[in-house]
Each structure stands twice: as C-alpha cells, then as structure tokens.
Amino acid sequence: MSDTRTGLGVDSHRLVEGRPLILGGIEFESEVGLDGHSDADVLTHAVIDALLGAAGLGDIGAHFPDTDERWAGADSIELLSKVAGMLIGGGFEIVNIDATVIIEQPKIGPQRAAICERIAGALGIEASRVNVKATTAEQIGSFGRGEGAAGIAVATLRG
C-alpha cells in the first residue's frame, strides 16, 4: 500500500559581502551573498531537508556534513539531485514541493519560474510540482535588516 508523507525544511544563512547570492540554484545580482560551507543556497537547503524529512532520512547535515571538505563550495542543486536519487532508490515518488524564501532584497519574482524549473529539473519532476514564494521580513529583526535570509519548504512524497 502506498501512503503519503510530508516533510518540513527550514534553513537560514548570513548575508555577507564577497559571496554570490544563489537561491534555488539561480544566481541573483546582489552586493551581498549567502555565507556557508557550500554555496549556502537557503532555499535549496530547505527543500532538501523537507524531502529528507518526508522520507524519514534525517537531515542535510547528516548526509552532507559541513565538516567534510567534499562539500566545500558545493553546488546545492547537485546535493538536491543526490537526495532525489536516494528517494527514488527508496521507492518514493515526489508529489510536490512548496517553498518560501525570506529575504529583504533583491526581488525574487522575476526569477521565480527559473527557480522552479531548476529545482524540478534536479528532482526529475515537472516544474508545475514545485511552487516557490518569496516574502520580505518587513524590516523586522535581523532578516529585515538584511543580515541574512531564510528558506522554508514542505515536501510531499508518495511511497
């Protein structure tokens, strides 16, 4: 019998000068970028954790530890592809992904479709099964001051 499983993913990284800003595998024009061991793509990291959570496979840190040099500067979309492989190998089908990025600027809207295509491509599913939203923190707190960005995602699997 196949059943439906849901997972949640949350991630945040600091925004600093001298780093590229990559969200959902798409690079944005920005004076600051996300800091981290990999490319620090908060949106893709949240999607990875949502998928791993739905499958009961732990979290991103367990599979791609930030103490491991193999993942230094890693392209998070490649990590997402690896996770998709694990899920498919485990007999799961990815039903859909819904994700939100919280960032004060730049505007994500113009690249929204490109992000959905990129994430869906890495997962081997149709772009219509990936929904990406963006919101600002309305100048509240550290995200509102542009000190960082966050990603939140929910994934649904069948398997």
Interacting residues toward Mg ion by CB under 5 A: 11, 45
Q: Reduce the DSSP state of residue 60 to 3 states and report it.
A: helix
Measured at the CA of 150, the angle between CA 101 and CA 52, to 5 degrees, comes to: 85
Nearer to Mg ion, 72 or 113 (CB): 72
CB 61 to Mg ion: min, Å: 9
CB 42 to Mg ion: min, Å: 6
Pair type for strands 32-34 and 4-17: antiparallel
Nearer to Mg ion, 45 or 118 (CB): 45
CB 146 to Mg ion: min, Å: 18
Do residues 97 and 154 make contact, with C-beta atoms less than 8 angstroms apart?
yes
The CB-nearest residue to Mg ion is 45
CB 71 to Mg ion: min, Å: 11
Nearer to Mg ion, 14 or 88 (CB): 14
Nearer to Mg ion, 41 or 93 (CB): 41
CA 155 to chain centre: 11
Enumerate residues 6+ apart whose C-beta is below 8 A from 159: 2, 3, 5, 55, 87, 90, 91, 92, 93
Nearer to Mg ion, 66 or 95 (CB): 66
- Terminal CA-CA length for the chain: 8
CB 55 to Mg ion: min, Å: 18
